[in-house]
């Protein structure tokens, strides 16, 4: 069935995408949106329930991804495991000075960070054993 939204005619079978990019850059809710600032989602040290959903990429409304909590929990476990086993620091040049990487993004429908130099080393011999004993290798 055809539909209309705020004066826009939507023919039956139309595909409609939420503008996630604009959603996460609305300065009314996210001042200075391109700055990494996780504290923007906190109030008095707790998650502010009035903050808009910081993960709208899982969809909105009744079409929202049913697996979003599993995906986010899996990502959290993966990040915690990585940080438990590895030191992640700035790369060094031949003289031992830190290399300041400029973070750059791809363009297009799905933006991603362009690879940059860094140093990833095991935290300990125990971490090396844990990594080598992993079923994921």
Angle 68-85/125-132 helices, nearest 10 degrees? 140
- In angstroms, what CA-CA distances link 127 with 36, 65, 86, 123, 137? 29, 35, 8, 6, 14
pLDDT tens-digit series, residues 25-62:
888 878 888 888 888 888 898 888 777 666 677 877 77
Between CA 57 and CA 69, with CA 63 as vertex, the angle to 5 degrees is 55
CA atoms within 13 A on the CB side of 10: 11
According to the model, what pLDDT value does residue 47 have? 83
Q: Is the pLDDT of residue 66 over 60?
A: yes
Q: Is the pLDDT of residue 120 over 90?
A: yes
- In angstroms, what CA-CA distances link 92 with 33, 98, 99, 119? 30, 5, 5, 8
**Mean pLDDT to the nearest integer, 112-119:** 92
Running DSSP on this structure, what letter comes out for residue 28? T
pTM beyond cutoff 0.75? no
**Mean pLDDT to the nearest integer, 97-126:** 89
Interacting residues of 16 by C-beta distance below 8 A, sequence separation 6+ = 10
């Amino acid at each position: 069935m055809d539909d209309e939204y705020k004066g826009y005619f939507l023919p039956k079978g139309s595909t409609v995408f939420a503008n996630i990019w604009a959603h996460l850059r609305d300065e009314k809710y996210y001042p200075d949106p391109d700055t990494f600032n996780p504290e923007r989602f906190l109030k008095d040290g707790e998650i502010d329930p009035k903050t808009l959903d910081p993960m709208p990429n899982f969809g909105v409304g009744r079409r929202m991804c049913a697996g979003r909590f599993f995906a986010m929990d899996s990502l959290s476990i993966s990040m915690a495991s990585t940080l438990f086993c590895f030191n992640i620091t700035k790369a060094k040049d031949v003289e031992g000075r830190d290399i300041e990487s400029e973070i750059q993004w791809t363009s297009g429908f799905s933006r991603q960070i362009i690879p940059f130099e860094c140093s990833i080393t095991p935290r300990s011999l125990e971490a090396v054993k844990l990594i080598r004993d992993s079923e994921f290798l």
